[in-house]
Structure 1
Amino acid sequence: MNISRRALLTGAGAAALGGVTAAARRGGGTQVPLRVAQVAAAAASISPTSRNSVWTRSGAGPLYWSAYSWDYTNNATLPESVWQQNVDWVAATFKSSGYTMCCTDGWVDYTQQTNANGYILSYSDDWANDWQYWANYCSGKGLKLGVYYNPLWVSAAAAGDSTKTVTGMPGVTVGSLVDSGDFLNSNGELYWVDVTKNGAKQFVQGYVNYFKNLGVAYLRTDFWAWYEAGATDGQGGIVAHGSTNYATALEWIAEAAGDTMEVSVVMPNMYDNGAREVLYGDMVRINNDATTGGWTHLSGGRQSWQDSWSQWDNAFSGFTGWAHRSGRGQLILDGDFLMMNSFASDAERQTAINLFTVAGSPVAISDRVDNIGANASFYTNSDVLSLHNQGLTGKPYFYNGSLYSVDGTSRDTERWMGQLPDGSWAVALFNRNDTNTVTKSVSFGTDLGIVGAADVKDMWSHADLGSMTSFSASLAPHASRLVHVVPAESTKRYQAAFAAWGGGANFNNDHTGYSAMGFVDKLEAAEAGANVTFAVQAATAGSHTVHYRYANGGGTAGTVTVEVQTANRTVVEAPVTVSFPATADWNTWATVTGTLTLAAGLNLITIARTTADAGAINLNYIEVS
């Protein structure tokens, strides 16, 4: 029996982590001198606490087209002629808007023809042309090729052929890497690699390199929940390989992919708060499969959390529930595929694009040339795409520091904000209600920490709405608004609560006196490696004044390590130690002032608590003049 690549898995278990809740408001503080020691004197290098690839450092996920909808509808691999027709259509219709990749998807169970090392030759045995042909064809159209396949899969034909040997290991057969009965599903056409076997690493990394050498830019790997924890496909059991072997496999793939190939981790269990995925993945799926799309995929279905795939059923819940794991250098959250033809209204279509854009998700078109109708323009709005192209990765409004899986009131799925590298903001307001019109609002001062007024632009009407100190919208059921908010002040303030949190750094608001939604805590000894990364656009290269707004109620000075790099890891400012004198208590905020060297263009400023640092601070924001 050939199953589709998609499966709804049920899970068990309870939430693992929580936080402290409290209410707080803005307050004052005093400015104190900054003490800075150069890296040669004191600062340690900032150790990576995530894969931190060039892909995640750049912010949002890719814009591309996927073959998924044809495959799902027909429960089969699409014909090569249909693939070509849609590749041509994407090049003609969407490439100019930034959609520069076409990706295969699933239904590969019966793809059995392989090369001498057991690597599949094409998307389907029925196709006349191989991967190299289609990589070249896409390139000729100005597009890249993405491939759906898991490097831990071994076709049954390759496993049973003693002439197929592991790359670089002619004495090791591909069949020796698998165990009897260890299949992806009951049809027995795909085995899982046993990562404890001799030659397993060489086979897996060889698979990644095989695709890289063909020019494949994106590898969509699937069924990880089944590999890690086991499952049943209705016909038989799938072997559980355990979290240790799962982490090993992810590590091998990430190591081979480097910064040349973007890696998507589909169907992850995200156990232990996504600890393994953040170390080795670029992108993770955060909700159930798109299936037929529509409002059910976006907002409906199961609203509760479960401690295994799929933790959240719909995109709104998934993006909200994993927002603490997103951001520069952390994880790209993937809401699966979009099909504009599947929504009931233009309001729903705008809501889908607005949500995926503000959450930093890839926007993966799975409409086709034969069914998109008049809906292509929803993917090509230049104002909306300008936010995505700046790497926008926003967050829902956080009411407290608890995980959303623990406290369903801790985050607001219908109010999203994200700060752009130039210091401006994207604000998205949603109405998920099926029957009632609601009004949603954001205060620029209280919620975003903007001093004074800001210019506001509606991203769908393209209208300038004028200078405002807040924004409100009356929203019909399933409707939304997306606006661009540009503060008037010349000194740009970057809020830690909307930055990327890594290594144990976390949102909180359990003290008073802060600006905006909250602050970041856990920059302390118990969380060595905790860090916050800000994306900052500089008009000119050179020395820039930086103000750090912090609280330190620990009684003694606290230090952190600050480093500036570009998205491709070019070091602009080597690690320096910054010292923060004690404040009266954790409710008292102060400012230290110093300088950092910035490159012209995008800079990633990382503030970390390393093992060489002392004490602890809470970080509210930085200002860059």
Structure 2
Amino acid sequence: MKRFSFGVVLLLATSVQCLDNGLIRTPPMGWSTWNKFHCGINETLVKEIADVMAAKLSKFGYEYVNLDDCWLDSNRDSAGNLQGDKTTFPSGMKALGDYIHSKGLKYGLYGDPGTHTCQGRPGNEGHETRDAATFASWGCDYLKYDACYATATYQLHAYQDMRDALNKTGRPIGYSICPDASRCNDPNTVMWDASSIANVVMCRGDRLCKTDGANDIAPTWQSWTCMLDVQMQFNSMGYAGPGHFIMPDMLEVGNGMTNDEDQSHFSLWAMIAAPLIAGNDLRNMTDETLEILTNDEVIAVNQDPMGKPARRVYTNNITEVWSRQLHTGDYAVVLFNKDETVQKITLLWRYIGLPANQPAKLRDLWAHQDLGTFSGNYTSAVVPHGVKMFKAVQMRGGL
């Protein structure tokens, strides 16, 4: 039975089909191989990660176990089909998918619209229908589709071709595209409207974010804050919403930054409705890292069903205030200190659209503590590279 339906929208004066696959109504949550392991992956590692996710993270909403580049064999088989690396994935890709599914989790794979993947494995150009059918036969639930070895002018059509090929399989497969950074730089000509092509659009950075020479995020303060700045241009364009989200990149929580920086990183990704795709070694994470990744109150903000991303409502280039409207009519708020010293940051009610005399209850989402009822403003000291994150609940009936 066909599970997908398409309409028609106008995008940059080009008629394209609108993605409506019923999937990813809130930002996807899971784990990916790339940030920590790059090409150093194998089926034992992935199974062990799946075990930990099922035991410790799945009850908080984490469900996707995603393989990034380097799972593919260097050659297609004699019939022209993709195959897993026979050395690192000797049991085959369907067997791995079956194992992940046996844990109650979902299975993600990686492809590329060019002739090769970024790491030189076979790309999907010209093989979209065949390869989508292969992914579906292995039980794939999520496809990250990159941008290497495909020209910028070709990418739009290539992304559409794979979208249509996935649809034809009849299997519900979440679709994430990763256009080249130059397309992410200019929101006036951007053609990656998530609602028309993919469930997730990963625009990882601009020319200022070359933290490792390839626009990928890195486990440094400078890297993820730069990615966050790039995200700002898309938040203002209204692309995100149920079924389609913008992603600055995968999480670096637990990969070597300070605990305050990790907490800030996670908070702001939650606020902007970005997918929460962990990138650390789940098998060896500290209690502090686990606590960050499983903060159910922060996750609830990320998973708010309205899917509306936060806006930066105040900045002086040292401190910032971010606000996100929730489906209840209340607000999530982050006070963000980018400085090297403790800063006092004031939330003014007008930043989030409340009258100055409107009482509101504040709850600290990291301390898991109700702070009381306030009117007009609230000031808090915030540690260097840190955040305070609140839920502001309006008292509509007065004090």
* TM-score, shorter chain, exceeding 0.5: yes
- Equivalent position SS for 2:390: strand
Q: 1:266 aligns with which of 178, 192, 200?
A: 178
Identity of aligned residues (%): 18
Q: Out of 342, 345, 358, which is 1:452 matched to?
A: 358
SS state of the match for residue 377, structure 1?
helix
Q: 1:462 aligns to what?
A: 368
Alpha-carbon shift at residue 377 of structure 1 (Å): 1.3
Q: Please list every run of 5 or more consecutive structure 2 residues that lacks an aligned counterpart in the other structure.
A: 1-6, 12-17, 206-214
| Paired position in structure 2 for 1:227 | 150
The corresponding residue for 1:348 is: 261
1:79 and 2:42 aligned = yes
Is the contact between residue 111 and residue 117 of structure 2 (CA under 8 Å) also seen in structure 1? no
In the aligned structure 2, how far is the partner of 1:251 from the partner of 1:376? 38
**Cα distance change on mapping 1:328 and 1:362 into 2, 3 Å:** same
* Unaligned 5+ runs, structure 1: 1-45, 155-182, 194-199, 230-242, 300-313, 400-408, 491-625
* 4+ residue runs over 3 A deviation: 46-57, 108-111, 123-126, 187-192, 256-259, 270-275, 288-292, 409-413
Cα distance change of structure 1 residues 455 and 205 upon mapping to structure 2, 3 Å threshold: farther
Determine if contact 1:115/1:121 at 8 Å carries over to the other structure.
no
8 Å contact 1:396–1:411 — kept in the other structure? Answer: no
- Give 1:206 shift: 3.4
Aligned mate of 1:101, from 64, 88, 99? 64
Q: Distance in 2 between matches of 1:319 and 1:142?
A: 32
Greater Cα radius of gyration, structure 1 or 2 = 1
* 1:277 corresponds to 2:192: yes
Aligned to 1:334: 247
Tell me the TM-score normalized by structure 2.
0.80
- Corresponding residue of 1:305: none
More helix by share: 2
Residue pair 1:396, 1:412 contacting (<8 A) in 2 also: no
CA RMSD of aligned residues (A): 3.1
> Is 1:286–1:322's contact at 8 Å kept on the other side of the alignment?
no
CA contact (8 A) 1:333 1:361 kept: yes
Write the deviation string for residues 261-318 of structure 1: whole angstroms up to 9, x where unpaired: 221112432356364210312212233455641323222xxxxxxxxxxxxxx22212
| 8 Å Cα contact 1:63/1:100 also seen in 2 | yes
Change in CA separation of 1:458 and 1:410 when aligned onto 2, cut-off 3 Å: closer
More strand as a share of residues? 1
Q: Superposition pairs for residues 155-554 of structure 1, below 5 Å? A: 190=122, 193=125, 200=126, 203-223=127-147, 226-229=149-152, 243=153, 245-258=154-167, 260-268=172-180, 269-270=183-184, 273=188, 275-278=190-193, 279-288=196-205, 289-290=215-216, 292-299=218-225, 314-325=226-237, 326-328=239-241, 331-374=244-287, 375-391=289-305, 392-397=307-312, 414-433=320-339, 435-445=340-350, 447-449=352-354, 452-469=358-375, 470-489=377-396
Cα gap change, 1:439/1:70 in structure 2, threshold over 3 Å: closer, same or farther? closer
CA contact (8 A) 1:70 1:78 kept: no
Match for 1:66: what amino acid?
Answer: S
Contact 2:111-2:124 within 8 A present in 1 as well: no
TM-score, normalised to structure 1, is 0.53
Matches within 5 A, 1:592-603: none
Change (3 A) 1:49 1:429: farther
Higher relative CO (Cα under 8 Å, sequence separation at least 6) belongs to 1
Structure 1 CA distance, aligned partners of 2:291 and 2:323? 24
- Say if 2:42 and 2:89, in contact at 8 Å, map to a contact too: yes
- Secondary structure at the aligned position of 1:92 is classed as helix
Whole-angstrom CA distance in 1 between matches of 2:361 and 2:329: 13
Separation of aligned partners in 2, 1:69 and 1:124? 23
State how far apart, in whole Å, the 2-side matches of 1:360 and 1:115 are: 43
Q: Distance in 2 between matches of 1:56 and 1:141?
A: 20
SS at the partner of 1:341? coil
- 1:92 CA displacement: 1.1
- For 1:41-80, list aligned pairs within 5 A: 48=9, 51=18, 53=20, 58-59=25-26, 61-72=27-38, 76-80=39-43
CA distance 1:361–1:188, change in 2 (3 Å):
closer
| 1:462 CA drift (Å) | 0.9
Q: How many pairs are equivalent?
A: 363
